[in-house]
A and B are shown apart, each in its own frame.
Chain A
Amino acid sequence: MTEAATMPVGAQAPLLSVTGVAKAFGETKALSACNLTLRAGRVHAVIGENGSGKSTLVKVLNGVVRPDKGEVLLAGVALRLSTPRQARQAGIATTFQEILVLEQLSLIDNLWLGQDGLFRRRVDAALRRAEGEAVLRELLGDALPDLSSRVADMDLGTRQAAVIARSLLLRPRLLILDEATAALDIAVRDRLFEALRRRTAGGLAVLFITHKMDEIATLSDEVTILRSGESVATLPNAEVTPERMLALMSGRSEPLSSPAAPNSGGRVALTARDIRVSARSAPFGLNVRSSEVLGLAGLEGHGANLFAQILGGVRAPLGGRIEADGQALSGANAFVRHGVAYVPRDRKTEGIFAPLSIADNFSMSTLQRYVRFGLLDEARIAARRKPLFERLGVKFGRLSDAITSLSGGNQQKVILARTLARQPKVLVLNDPTRGVDLATKQDIYSLLAEQAQANVAVVIHSTEIEELLALCQRVAIFHHGALFAVLDRSALSRDTLIAGLFGRTA
C-alpha cells in the first residue's frame, strides 16, 4: 500500500475522474450517467436520496461490480477493477454503509484484515498494535477498548469507528466513506473530521457519501448531487444551501406536498409500556393511534429501527411489553391476530421471494382466503389483487413474470399490496421508500394517508426528513436507544426534527 501520493493539494490534474458510468441490475437502472471529478487533498461529498445510485457508485469504485458503460480514471490511468483487492492495490480504501466486522475476531485483527498475504505476515505484531492504537485514538480519544478483545462485545459506534480505522490504516490515496457516520456520536464524528482534514492536507482525496446536509456544510469542499442514477450538478461548498440541494436531489422546488391530514388520531391501537430497546436505555412508553401516521425517527443505531420491529411484532423488547386492548402481546402470532402487519426494511432479503412470480409474491400472506374445495382459486385471488394493484399503480408485464423483473419501486408496491390484502388494523412500515424512485414514493405517501383516513394506525420508520415532515402527524425521535421526544404537528419542523436527531432541542 503506497503512501498517499505526494501531489500538491488542489493540483490541476484530477486524482479520480468518473465519466458516463452506467450500471443496471436486471431491470433496475442503478446508475445511468454518473460524472464526478475529484482532486487530491479535497473532500468531495456525494449526496442523493435513497435509490439515487450512491451505493452502486461505491461498489463500482471498489471493484465489487463492474460498470456497463463509462470510464473511470485514477491519476490519469484507466481503472478496471474486478475485485476489492485490486481496488486496495490501486490505493483506494472503502468503508461501506454496512458495518462489516467479523465478530469472532479481535479488534486488532479486524483492523488489519486483508493486509497480510496468505501465508506471509506483512506487518509485524508490534507495529500493528502501535499504529492500530494510534488511529483508534484519533477517532475515539481516550475511550479506547482493549484491542485484543472480540468485536462481538462492542457496540455499534465502536464497530463503525473500527471499520473507518481499517480504511485509514491502509494509507490510501483515495478514501471512500459511504454513510460512514451513521452510528458515530458527535464527539467521534468531529474527531473523524479532524483526522480527515489532517490527511487531506497531506494529499489524501476523500469521497464522502452522505445524505446529511449538515455534514456537507462542515466537511466538504464540493458536492455532487445524484438523482435517479445521474449526477445532476456539482456545487462548491460556498454555493450549498439546503433548499438548493433538496431541489436538485428531488427535482422539485417545493417540499413534498402533504396529503390531506386527518384530525388528531383516533382510539389507541397499540400501547408500548416501559419498553427498553437496548440494555443501557431508559424505559419509555408510547401510544399508537388509529387514523394517524406516526413517524419513528432516529440516526442509525439509535433505536428507531429496533422499535419499529418491536411494534411490528418481529422482535421482542429487552424490557416492557406492547399491549393491544389492554392485553399484552407476546409472540409474533399475537401481533398478527390483533391485526398488526409489518413491512420489513430490507426488501431483497426479507421482503420479496425472488424466484417466484409477481402473482405468488402478492398472494403469499393471505392464501387461506382463496381456498375452494381444498385448492387455490385463481378467480378469488384475482378479485382481491386487481383493485389493490390498480390503487397502487403496479406496473408489470405478466403476472407470471418473476418479481425481480420489476423495478425496486414496483416490487415495494407488490409487497405493500400483499400486506394490505391482510386488511391490517395497524400498519408498521420500516423505511418503506428505501431505494424507490420519486414517483413511486408519492404513490406510497398518498396510499398511507388514505389508510390513515380509513382508520388504520400507520407507523413509519424513516431516515428521510422530508418524508417525515410530509407524512406524519406525530414524530417520535429516538436518541441513544431511548425515546427522546415526541413532536406533534404544531412542533414539527425541519429544525426541531434535525435537532432532536442529535439529542438537542431546537
Chain B
Amino acid sequence: MRRLVAALRKTIWPQLFAIAALYGLGVLTINGSGSWRSVLAVCVLASFVGIAAAGQTVVALLGGIDLAIPGVIAFANIATAQLTGDHWPFWIVAPGILILSAAVGAFNGAISKSFNINPLIVTLGVSAILTGAILVWTGGQPTGYAPKWLNGFVAPSGTTFGLPLPPVLAFWGVVAILLVVLLRRTVFGKHVYASGASLPAADLALVPTTRVWTLAFALSGIMAAITGILLAGFTTQGDPRIATPYLFNTIASVVIGGTSLVGARGGYLRTVLGAIILTEITTLLVANSFSAATQQVLLGAIILAVVATYGREQAVSDRL
C-alpha cells in the first residue's frame, strides 16, 4: 500500500483526480457550474495565478521561494494604468515594466545566492521596498486606466482568431508550452534542476549556479509583471490590493501541483494543474458563501497538508 502511494505521488494522477472531483462537486453544489462558460471563467481566473506561479515554479525547483511576486504584480499593475493614463503607448510601457521587473528579480536572485541568504527573507524585504515605492509614486491614490484592448484580452467571453477561446487562455497555453520546453529541453532548465538538487555538485559540474539563480528570479519577476499587466485589463485601473492574494496562491499552486519546495522535483505542468485546482476550490468556496477569511484559513491548511506529503525534509539520522 505504501509503495502504491509513493508511486502515485510521482505521477500527476492525484492532481487530475482532484480536478475531476472538484468539478463534480461544483456541478452538485452550484447552479450552472458545469457549463462551458463557467469552465472558461474558472480557467481564465486560473490563468492569472498560473502565469504568476510560473516564476514561482522555477524558483521552487531551485529550492527557493519568491515572496516579491505580489510586489511586482502591484507595481506592474499600477504602472500600466498610470502610464497609459499619461498617454504613454503600450509598446513602450510594457517592455519598460518587464525590464524593470526582471532587474528586481535579478537583484533578488543575485543577493540571495551570493550572500547565501534565504531568498524568502530577501524577497520579503524587496517586496516591502516595492510596496512603499508604489505608495510614494502614487501618493496612495492611483490614477489612470488600462489600454482598452486589454479588457477584451482577458475577458472570459473573448475569442482568439475566431475560436471560442479567451485570448488570455491561449496566451497561457503558449506560456505553458514555452516554460515546459525551457525546463525540460534547454541547458538552462537542466541547470535549474541541478542547482536545486545539489549546489556543491552543480558547482563542480560546471553549472554557473549564481547566474542560474539570477536568471531564475529574473524570470519570476517577468512572469509577475506580465500578470500585473494582464490584471490591469481585468480591473481596468491600477490597484495594489489586487496583488495581495498572489502571495500565497502562487505558492499554493506550486505546492498542490506537487513540485517540491526542497528543490529539483516537479515542473510547470504540475503548477498548471495546481492553479486550476486552487481556482476550483476558491470558486467553490466563494459560491458557497465562504468568506475571504475562511478561504485563507483553508488554503493555509491545504498548503501544510500537501507539503507534508510532497516536501518533507530528511531526518537528522539520514544525514549522519
A364 to B205, CA, bound (A): 6
Would A360 and B193 be within 8 Å (CB), given that A64-B317, A350-B200, A365-B205 are in contact? yes
CB-CB < 8 A to A365: which residues of B? 205-206
Number of interface residues of A (CB under 8 A): 30
A354 x B186 contact (CB < 8 A): no
A356 x B194 contact (CB < 8 A): yes
Across the interface, name the chain B residue whose C-beta is closest to A422.
B206
CB-CB < 8 A to A422: which residues of B? 206
A356 x B317 contact (CB < 8 A): no
B192-242 residues at the A interface, CB under 8 angstroms: 193-194, 197-198, 200-207
B200 x A64 contact (CB < 8 A): no
A367 x B198 contact (CB < 8 A): no
CB-CB < 8 A to A364: which residues of B? 190, 194, 202, 205-207
A336 to B265, CA, bound (A): 29
Number of interface residues of B (CB under 8 A): 23
Give the most central of A332, A336, A356, A418: most B CB within 10 Å: A356
Cross-interface CB contact of B205 among A349, A355, A418, cutoff 8 Å: A418
Across the interface, name the chain B residue whose C-beta is closest to A344.
B204
The DSSP consensus for interface residues of chain B is helix
CB-CB < 8 A to B203: which residues of A? 332
CB-CB < 8 A to A355: which residues of B? 193, 197, 263-265
A314 to B205, CA, bound (A): 11
A342 in the interface (beta carbon within 8 A): yes
A336 to B204, CA, bound (A): 10
- For the complex of A and B, list the 5 residue pairs with the smallest distance between their C-beta atoms, beginning with the closest: A353-B197, A355-B264, A367-B187, A364-B205, A375-B185
Q: Can you list 20 A-B pairs, Cβ within 8 angstroms, ordered by A?
A: A64-B317, A64-B320, A314-B204, A332-B203, A344-B201, A351-B204, A354-B197, A355-B193, A356-B193, A356-B197, A360-B194, A363-B190, A364-B206, A367-B190, A368-B187, A371-B187, A375-B185, A375-B186, A376-B186, A376-B190
A354 to B191, CA, bound (A): 14
Across the interface, name the chain B residue whose C-beta is closest to A371.
B187
Would A353 and B181 be within 8 Å (CB), given that A65-B317, A375-B186, A376-B186 are in contact? no
Cross-interface CB contact of A354 among B181, B198, B207, B320, cutoff 8 Å: B198
CB-CB < 8 A to B204: which residues of A? 314, 342, 344, 350-351
Across the interface, name the chain B residue whose C-beta is closest to A347.
B201
Give the most central of B202, B203, B205, B320: most A CB within 10 Å: B205
Across the interface, name the chain A residue whose C-beta is closest to B191.
A367
Give the most central of A364, A371, A422: most B CB within 10 Å: A364
A353 to B191, CA, bound (A): 11
A191 in the interface (beta carbon within 8 A): no
Would A356 and B185 be within 8 Å (CB), given that A349-B198, A350-B204, A367-B190 are in contact? no
What's the minimum C-beta distance from A268 to chain B, rounded to whole angstroms?
Answer: 25
Mark interface residues in A62-74 (1 if CB within 8 Å of B CB, else 0).
0011000000000
B185 x A376 contact (CB < 8 A): yes
Further 11 A-B residue pairs, CB within 8 A, beyond A349-B198, A422-B206: A342-B204, A344-B201, A349-B201, A355-B193, A355-B197, A356-B264, A363-B190, A364-B194, A364-B206, A364-B207, A376-B187
A352 in the interface (beta carbon within 8 A): yes
A374 x B186 contact (CB < 8 A): yes
CB-CB < 8 A to B190: which residues of A? 360, 363-364, 367, 376
Across the interface, name the chain B residue whose C-beta is closest to A364.
B205
A59 in the interface (beta carbon within 8 A): yes
